[in-house]
Amino acid sequence: MADNERKQLSRRAVLKGAALIAGLAPLVQVRSAAAAGTVPKAAMKYQDHPNGKQDCSNCVQFIPGKTPAAMGECKVVAGSISPHGWCVAYTAKS
């Protein structure tokens, strides 16, 4: 294989890789956008305190913040969610 052919193949491989990465970027953005909920807090009767032993930190929908005490997000409810909040969509972790 001539040097010129090798360079062309290598350039093609780099361009294919770049195109693949560029093509995947929107999918990654869609996935992260889908992770956080969009339902308004009022519609789900969200409160920033627990309902008995039920709170967001032990709900399957909760997306924790950087620390256990930090505000997180929810897969259902929009906005910043307290780990000690609660709403009607509460579903206990098993």
Enter the tokens of residue 63.
């997306």
Contact 89, 51 (CB under 8 A): no
Contact 38, 51 (CB under 8 A): no
Q: Please report, as residue ranges, which positions from 4 to 23 form the binding site for ligand SF4 (by CB under 6 A).
A: none
Q: Which is nearer to ligand SF4, 1 or 76 (CB)?
A: 76
Q: What length does the chain have? A: 94
Q: State the minimum distance, in angstroms, from the CB of residue 67 to ligand SF4.
A: 17
Q: Which is nearer to ligand SF4, 4 or 67 (CB)?
A: 67
Distance of CA 35 to the CA centre of its chain: 3
Q: Does 83 participate in binding ligand SF4 (rule CB under 6 A)?
A: no
- Give bridge partners of residue 60 from the DSSP assignment: none
Q: Which residues bind ligand SF4 (CB under 6 A)?
A: 46, 56, 59, 61-62, 74, 76-77, 81, 85-87, 89-90
